[in-house]
Structure 1
Amino acid sequence: MTRTARATSRSFAALTAVAIALTVAGCTAEPAAPQVRASDVVVETVTTDLAAPWSVAFLSDGTPLVSERDTARILELAADGSAREVGVVAGVQNAGEAGLLGLAVDDADRLYAYSTASDGNRIQRFTLSGQPGSLALGEPETIIERMPAARNHDGGRIAFGPDGMLYVTVGDAGDRASAQDLDVLAGKILRMTPDGAVPDDNPFTGSLVYSYGHRNPQGLAWTEDGTLFAAEFGQDTWDELNIIEPGANYGWPEVEGAAGRDEFVDPVQQWNPDDASPSGMARLGDTLYIANLRGRVLRAVPIADPTTHTDWFSGEYGRLRAAEVAPDGSLWVLTNNTDGRGSPTPGDDRILRIEP
């Protein structure tokens, strides 16, 4: 297999070096992050009473589509926040963290869904018929199937990059060693064409693998210049924010967090899992917004200095699963208090609309 080279900007490289130096020097304690409360920004409730929502994607006309992990339902939301079932993805196995996970929409308004089946994780593509308010899910076309799956560490985030390719996060599915095995798709970020084929310029010839050495990545976002960031769940020590380089090794399970070893790419920022558990991520303007589950915060990371952050809404809305930029330029955030690990309040789960 061959590996292509891609240069990372000098500013990001310098910031990474600072993070490595601090960690290796033993300065691993996180400084207290500035806090932002709901009263400091405009926050509206888009909809309530969802069942473990996992992802939201928007059609070209602005219609939001939402996945529910355990019910395998795909919902469309009306302007008044009411939810209507578009369809149920057949054959979904929901157990633990598995089920109906990420959604993405291509430029032809076809819906892509990542879900767990009896023989592994898969991505299916659906056409949608009807008009907003009466949309219906067509028959699925399987793009890729039999990706490693388990009750935990299923990855599940899918997103189209600025290059038109589909990027997919796949967890290690509980098999740690597989994250370092380039012949196995577990513990990887994949890059494929919209039809599931291997792009000619992927870093490993004939392989969907774009980067490896991941434990359970669930957040993807691109900056305006095309730099790809990914958020990743650690084990017991460090959750990570990484800049993804094609063909690069991010260390799991050999290392967790910054190690300062030449063979691995270190994160630009890391957090204690009690304060993070980062899932979905979105870029709005010059800031990355990361939804955190156990940490129960929306974490704002300035792209100009991704070694820093500000915490939003600490504990105010409970567990947060996903963040997505809506067509009107606002930020939508999904709570995840009904997923079996949270403490639901009346109306949970909900989608919040935020104007930073």
Structure 2
Amino acid sequence: MNRRLVAVLTGCALSVPLLSGCLEEGNTTDVRMIETTPSGTPLPTTPTPSPDPTGSSPSPQAPTSDPRLLDTVATGLEVPWGLDFMPDGDAVVTERDSGRVLLLRGEEHRVVEAGTVDEAAPEGEAGLLGVAVSPDFEEDRLLYLYVSTAEDNRVVRARLRGTRLGETEPVLTGIPNGFIHDGGRLEFGPDGFLYVSTGDAGEPSRAPDPDSLGGKILRITAGGDPAPGNPEPDSPVFSSGHRNVQGLAFVADRLWASEFGSDEADELNLVEGGEDHGWPEVEGTGGTEQGYTDPQLTWETGEASPSGLAFAAGHLWLAALQGERLWRVEVDRDGATASEPTAYFVGEHGRMRTVAEAPDGSLWVTTSNRDGRGSPDADDDRILRIRP
């Protein structure tokens, strides 16, 4: 595999990577060189399934083999957290601790620093977190970012002019922030509205509180107003009772969310408007008799600590931090039921943070070994390209 060293644009002289062997939680480092690999490897085609004799048509995307690593897109990143793709296929990546917004351009994934979000205040699990490309990006050139500031967590947006990030504009402010449980995932739904995952920021009482934006999934317009059709017309809250949601994905028009448990169970939830998912009264299953919505799947916390979530090739894919693996989850044809989780790459790449489907159908998965809780090697953090 041919590799190149690509300089990140910093406006000053280049410096070599400064890699820390063991980081305190919340520390930052200074990396100015990123190694990238051309994708080069075409995505293997999947044979068309044979017709079902019962008359029902199987999904043409259903994989016929286990996922496998194709190549490494980039190395030397500082806790890559958010990942999304622009209409031309270029990727946008956010780094939690540095506050940088990076563009990975072209087939060779040339790395360009678009800018730094100066209001980001990294501490513990807080910093520059999720990113979502506007569904109207070709017209408005807007990127939406979830940022931990010194005062709050907030959603901001900025226009990408060429390869440079413009000034940020607040979209939604006042989300509770803390050293832990900051949520941070952004996802535009098929309805055109922006879904925002938040955490309880270390205070569980926020999760069921209708007056707090903590411990919720929010649903807002592109301008930050409560979306039409929300459970409460004047509130951005879509669902409540969440401890710390860091993964959002749609299967058709159904919303799925991955959620960190405390001591007993991590969760995969099917989310509908107005539901209370039980935290802090219930962790895992057992809440239905009390009027709460149970998760469809749970894991022991050592097997998951789930962050990113994506739907690709007919399955949900969940990236696990403490579990150091990628979970593949079966979903039924209408996306309403999840079952049969299978783990891949267990312990091979360390902590896995974010997973996203690329335009070519591959999965891009970020590692999070430099987040203060992993054991980074000289190449961390990385973006892996996987055939689902």
Is the pair's TM-score, using the shorter chain for normalization, greater than 0.5?
yes
Greater length-normalized contact order (CA 8 Å, ≥ 6 residues apart): 1
Note if contact 2:248-2:310 (Cα within 8 Å) is conserved in structure 1: yes
**Is 1:307 aligned to residue 331 of structure 2?**
no
2:377 to 340, 345, 351: 345
State the AA in 2 paired with 1:175: E
Distance 2:233 2:169 in 1: 25
**Offset at 1:262?**
4.2
**Offset at 1:42?**
4.1
SS of the equivalent of 2:73 reads strand
Note if contact 1:191-1:210 (Cα within 8 Å) is conserved in structure 2: yes
Equivalent residues in 2 for 1:100-111, closer than 5 Å: 100-109=128-137, 110-111=142-143
**Is 1:240 aligned to residue 272 of structure 2?**
no
**What's 1:219 paired with?**
247
State TM-score, norm by structure 1.
0.86
1:186 to 214, 236, 240: 214
State the AA in 1 paired with 2:150: S
Note if contact 2:308-2:319 (Cα within 8 Å) is conserved in structure 1: yes
**What's 1:285 paired with?**
313
**Which stretches in structure 2 are left out of the alignment for 5+ residues?**
1-64
Distance 1:42 1:290 in 2: 16
2:223 to 174, 195, 201: 195
* 1:167-196 deviations in Å (ceiling 9; x for gaps): 000100111111111011100000000110
Distance 1:118 1:42 in 2: 39
Distance 2:271 2:221 in 1: 18
SS of the equivalent of 2:232 reads coil
State the AA in 2 paired with 1:313: F
SS of the equivalent of 2:302 reads helix
1:249 to 273, 276, 279: 276
State TM-score, norm by structure 2.
0.79
Note if contact 2:208-2:279 (Cα within 8 Å) is conserved in structure 1: yes
* 1:222-251 deviations in Å (ceiling 9; x for gaps): 112x11110000000000000001000000
Distance 1:42 1:93 in 2: 34
**What's 1:44 paired with?**
71
Distance 1:107 1:91 in 2: 25
Distance 1:77 1:347 in 2: 17
Equivalent residues in 2 for 1:102-141, closer than 5 Å: 102-109=130-137, 110-130=142-162, 135-141=163-169
Note if contact 1:55-1:334 (Cα within 8 Å) is conserved in structure 2: no
**What's 1:30 paired with?**
none
Could you list the structure 1 runs, at least 4 aligned residues long, displaced by more than 3 angstroms after superposition: none
**What's 1:65 paired with?**
92
Moved more, 346-355 or 80-89: 80-89
2:356 to 324, 327, 330: 324
Note if contact 1:323-1:334 (Cα within 8 Å) is conserved in structure 2: yes
Distance 1:253 1:237 in 2: 12
Distance 1:42 1:245 in 2: 34
Distance 2:350 2:167 in 1: 36
**Offset at 1:261?**
2.1
Note if contact 1:211-1:245 (Cα within 8 Å) is conserved in structure 2: yes
SS of the equivalent of 1:274 reads helix
**Offset at 1:108?**
2.6
Distance 2:135 2:285 in 1: 37
Moved more, 162-171 or 138-147: 138-147
Report the number of matched residues: 314
State the AA in 2 paired with 1:107: P
Distance 1:290 1:76 in 2: 24
State the AA in 2 paired with 1:146: G
**Offset at 1:308?**
1.7
**Offset at 1:256?**
0.2
SS of the equivalent of 2:205 reads helix
Distance 2:309 2:228 in 1: 28
**Offset at 1:58?**
1.0
**Which stretches in structure 1 are left out of the alignment for 5+ residues?**
1-35
**What's 1:142 paired with?**
170
Distance 2:69 2:352 in 1: 17
CA RMSD of aligned residues (A): 1.3
Distance 1:71 1:42 in 2: 27
% identical equivalent positions: 47
* 1:75-95 deviations in Å (ceiling 9; x for gaps): 111332342210000111100
Question: CA 1:96–1:42 in 2, change beyond 3 Å: closer, same or farther?
Answer: closer
Note if contact 1:54-1:322 (Cα within 8 Å) is conserved in structure 2: yes
1:163 to 182, 185, 191: 191
SS of the equivalent of 2:154 reads strand
Note if contact 1:214-1:250 (Cα within 8 Å) is conserved in structure 2: yes
Note if contact 2:101-2:117 (Cα within 8 Å) is conserved in structure 1: yes
**Offset at 1:346?**
2.3
2:118 to 74, 90, 93: 90
